[in-house]
Structure 1
Amino acid sequence: MLTFKRFHECTLDEAVQAYNRGFEGYYFDQSKTADTLALKMGKEELSPLYSVLAFMNDEPVGIVLNGIWQRRGKKVAWNGGTGVAPAYRNQGIGRALMEETLRIYEEQEVELATLVAIRENEKAISLYKKMGFQLVDQSIFLEKKGKLRSLDDDRHSRYRIVHGIPHDVYQLPFWKNPVWDIQWQTIENKEALLVIDNEEQVIGYALYRRIFADDQSLATILLFHCEADPKCQDQAETIRYALAHVFAPLDVDCHRLTVNLPGSNLPVVTALQDAGFARMAEQVFMTKVLKQ
């Protein structure tokens, strides 16, 4: 018999078992311990009150992690992961989990439901479409391990960089309010940089995060977004200048990657691929309007 429990009604061991079984054989290793699952929930603002576990005859066989937030004046739900144990896939449990999730959203008066899926995961995307979700954007993950060759030829001394916080970017007239920012706002220690021209105008920006190892060496740089002002004369040049500073110092051996970079942002994708970045994966972003 299939039953559901909210995350907070289960033991942490049951939640870990449901998560690890649910994401077994996934495109990336998603295995978690009790500590790392709790850390994921906290960092990504996923709620034990709104997350759901599926049980088959008291055995945990599936999970949906949910967060409900206020974003841009709307009550938005984020599905942070849906997984079903391999032995129970293709038996309608994924659909039942989504139905239970949407029931919770309705109960909480959510206005917009959001989620992501790996682009190659056609079964999941098909299910979400049947549940009323629409594909609204695609993103790409690119990575480069090791040292990085030049992104910018450094001739553009007429530009300078100002380091700031994400709020500085959100105030720019050419900030596009991308759909992905619903998720980005849960990311800790995010940094911003602004590209300033010789007329003291902001002509570009980047949002990123640096992660340091225990010995304080630079381990990882995550790029979330990078744009140039559409009015800028040379957008490609501006973007390369910004990227060169995001991923600096280029001669440091570390892991550099993009996180849900909009696939339509061709100037950034091209610049990074020219610098040796390779494709890791692509995701689709899907939404369902629940209340107008």
Structure 2
Amino acid sequence: MESTYTFSYLTAQEMPELHQVFLKAFADYYVPIQLTEEQFKTKLKRESIDPAFCVAAFEATKMVGFILTGLGEFNGKPTAYNAGTGVLPEHRGHQLTRKMYAYLLPKLRQSGVEQCLLEVIQENEPAIKSYKAIGLTFTRALDCFRATKDELLLHGDEPDDIAILPVSKPDWNTYQHFWDVQPTWQNTPAAIKNTPDEKVILEARDTSHELVGYVVFLPKNGAVLQLAVMPDRRGRGIGKALLKEVMQQTIAPALMFINIDTAAVDFKAFLKRRHFNRFLGQYEMLMPLV
């Protein structure tokens, strides 16, 4: 007999149950994702996930699928970010992703959200097919890079006219002028501000105290959220010096860059020269709601 599913929005009290369903849904994923309770709470905060906009699918009283929805701005527009879609293995094949979106979209439109955003692993053809059927289209391709500390190639002379110092108040207005591409949702200034994890921001300044580069990273897990150097000061070892400082201050055994726009050709070449390896590709997908 065909299963009957119902759908509803969640409350903060249901997030622990959602965490358990998340673990089961992603245990056999292309890249298995197993987050501790603390890591899951961190994800909720960093990605601005609002339980009242998270849809769950139920068979009777059992939660069998979900969409984690983050709310915020992206490229200047009110945006709903899909921070994770999961369906328990035994309930796949019932088009639950499409049905959950059909339940969610009217509420998003009524709330003034102008677009839906997500990332999907490039090899995940069933998910891509579902998202395209809903109306999402590719906006850009993304690469993820990783290197263990002993793999990193950071030898060579340090620039002697550059000082690298920690800062407590990031100057995002200046930083964004160093960007070649826009960061993805998890790496935006808003996400960095929201993350409860310990984060370190270092700035590189020259002898006249001019800001010429910066880096933002999480020393506990080795995630480098942003790294950029002033365009006309590149090729002088500033990026390498920043990365060397990141390595020295990071507790984790490896450094990672998640979701780097493939259009950032020079930056990807910089990472490869430092011996970072691409381990995953994703697509960013977007759907206008107005």
- TM-score normalised by length of structure 1: 0.81
2:184 maps to 180
User: Is the CA contact 2:187–2:226 (under 8 Å) kept in the aligned structure 1?
Assistant: no
Cα distance in 1 for partners of 2:7, 2:204 equals 50
Equivalent residue for 1:287? 286
Q: Hey, what does 1:208 align to over in structure 2?
A: 217
**CA distances 1:222-252 after superposition (whole Å, capped 9, x unpaired):** 11222222233x44733223222222269x8
Q: Which residue of 1 aligns with 2:199?
A: 190
C-alpha contact (below 8 Å) 2:54/2:67 kept by paired residues: yes
Equivalent-residue separation in structure 2 for 1:112 and 1:282 (angstroms): 23
Q: Secondary structure at the match of 2:202?
A: strand
**Structure 1 residues 166 and 118: CA distance shift in structure 2, 3 A:** farther
Q: Deviations over 1:20-76 (max 9, x none)?
A: 343241123334566654454344331211101112344322111112125575422
Change (3 A) 1:262 1:8: same
In structure 2, the CA distance between the partners of 1:205 and 1:152, relative to structure 1 (3 Å rule), is: farther
Measured in 2, the distance between the counterparts of 1:128 and 1:253 equals 35
Aligned amino acid, residue 18 of structure 1? V
Please identify which structure carries the higher helix content: 2
SS state of the match for residue 68, structure 2?
strand
Q: What is residue 263 of structure 1 aligned with on the other side? A: 262
Conserved? CA contact 2:214–2:242, under 8 Å: yes
Cα distance, 1:198 vs. partner? Answer: 4.2
Choose 82-91 or 45-54, whichever is displaced more: 82-91
The percentage of aligned residue pairs carrying the same residue is: 22
Q: 1:30 to 1:205 in 2, by over 3 A?
A: same
Which shows bigger deviation, 132-141 or 11-20? Answer: 11-20
Residue 240 of structure 1 aligns with an amino acid whose one-letter code is: K
Of 86, 91, 95, which residue of structure 1 is paired with 2:94?
91
CA shift in 2, pair 1:193/1:16, >3 Å: closer
2:249 corresponds to 1:246: no
State how far apart, in whole Å, the 1-side matches of 2:241 and 2:206 are.
11
Partner of 2:133: 130
Instruction: Please give the root-mean-square deviation of Cα atoms over the aligned residues, in Å.
Output: 3.0
The number of residues matched between the two structures is: 281
Asked whether the equivalents of residues 143 and 262 of structure 2 are also in contact (C-alpha less than 8 Å), the reply is: yes
Mapping of residues 165-176 of structure 1, within 5 Å: 165=168, 167-172=170-175, 174-176=177-179
SS of the counterpart of 2:222? strand
> How far did 1:281 drift?
1.5
What do the CA deviations read for 1:161-208 (whole angstroms, capped 9, x no partner)? 232257314334624471415654333343322222345432322222
For residue 156 of structure 1, the aligned residue among 148, 154, 159 is: 159
Q: Which runs of 5+ in 1 are unaligned?
A: 212-219
Q: Secondary structure at the match of 1:82?
A: strand
Alignment of 1:15 onto 2:4: no
- Contact 2:9/2:51 (8 A) holds in 1: yes
In structure 2, list runs of 5 or more residues that go unmatched: none
- 1:75-124 CA distance string (max 9 Å, x none): 22111100112222232111111222222311321122211111221221
The 3-state SS of whatever aligns with 1:167 is coil
Preserved CA contact (<8 Å) 1:7 1:51: yes
